[in-house]
Structure 1
Amino acid sequence: MSMRRAAAVIGTAIFFVFVPCVLAGVVPWWISRWEFLPPFFDLQATRAVGTLLVVAGLPGLVDSFARFALQGLGTPAPIAPPQHLVVTGLYRYVRNPMYVAVVAVILGQAILFGDSRLMTYGGLMWLAFHAFVLTYEEPVLAQKFGAQYEDFRANVPRWIPRLSPWRTA
């Protein structure tokens, strides 16, 4: 493994522990203590929906982080950004799979535990991610990757995934 790739893997692993694990694990636990409250709409079936969101979000998050390190040769942290634009895996469906996955895990916990406080937290996290993407991330990516990013942005939605994978030209 090259030094650049090794540094990207280590940096990404550290960022993973300190950001998504805290945002989607520690903070929801702190808010809810993962205590089961009555299910939303008094329907036990909602708990299955919550479980599905958590189960779907976690591997998507791990895969997206791995792609940043191994293909992008960087980290999700702005201080050590990727050297290459990542447009494979879940990035073929949605431009921000990490943020989508974190919000899915938070909202999944909210639905699983029947906790409206977690639902509010998940909404606030999405708003924070959206503001960050609009004001910082997209302008920086457009400047760094130019036409390649513009093509990606024109073909892959920001938040709601495509039904079929986008393929670069």
Structure 2
Amino acid sequence: MGGVVPWLLTAGYSDPAAPVSVTLGLVLVVVGVTVLVACFVQFVREGRGTPAPVAPTQELVVGGIYRWVRNPMYLAVGAIILGQAVAFGSGAVVAWLAVFAVAVVSFVLGYEQPTLQATYGESYDEYRRHVPGWYPRLTPWQGPGQGPASSR
């Protein structure tokens, strides 16, 4: 989603006359990839599973980056796509970002949130009340297991 499709839409072309755009785009891609990897690690360590529905977590993941925002993986992939749009100077990749955003929000609202609520009940409801889905909190949520004594 965040690599192959933008590359295909631009045929790998980046305007060499815009080094600032390429640099800014690369920074967004690196930040997105870093957040994405951190989220995968958090799923394995805290959730004892993966983000994939075929091997779901056994525990609700609310530590690490998830203390600031509920959907950091989707935001990370969005940052990767946006970074490529900026680096390639591509309106087609911006359009792809819009398609991706609509698909992700639809998936989260239609499947992910109801599934997490059914699986984790009140603990997910509490987490959802305190941590925004699409923009980060200014301070990390200090919910259950998230206090200063916690190793998360």
Query: Per the shorter chain, which TM-score range?
Result: 0.7 to 0.9
Aligned to 2:28: 53
Q: Does 1:137 align with 2:115?
A: no
Determine helix, strand or coil for the equivalent of 2:32. Answer: helix
Contact 2:14-2:22 at 8 Å conserved across structures: no
- Deviation track 1:55-75 (CA, whole Å, cap 9, x = no partner) reads 211110001011112211111
Deviation at 1:33? 2.2
What is the alpha-carbon distance in structure 2 between the residues aligned to residue 90 and residue 33 of structure 1? 33
Q: TM-score, normalised by structure 2?
A: 0.88
State which of 26, 47, 57 in structure 1 corresponds to 2:4: 26
Deviation at 1:122? 1.0
State which of 57, 76, 83 in structure 2 corresponds to 1:82: 57
Aligned to 1:36: 14
Instruction: Select between 109-118 and 49-58 the one with higher mean Cα deviation.
Output: 49-58
Paired residues, what number?
Answer: 144
Aligned to 1:164: 139
- Deviation track 1:144-167 (CA, whole Å, cap 9, x = no partner) reads 111110111011111111121111
Q: What's the RMSD between the two structures over aligned residues?
A: 1.6
Deviation at 1:140? 0.5
Aligned to 2:81: 106
Deviation at 1:38? 7.9
Identity %: 45
- Deviation track 1:26-55 (CA, whole Å, cap 9, x = no partner) reads 12111112211488xxx7544333222112
What is the alpha-carbon distance in structure 2 between the residues aligned to residue 152 and residue 146 of structure 1? 10
As a proportion of its length, which structure holds more helix? Answer: 1
What is the alpha-carbon distance in structure 1 between the residues aligned to residue 137 and residue 20 of structure 2? 27
Instruction: Select between 25-34 and 43-52 the one with higher mean Cα deviation.
Output: 43-52
State which of 66, 81, 99 in structure 2 corresponds to 1:124: 99
Q: Which runs of 5+ in 1 are unaligned?
A: 1-22
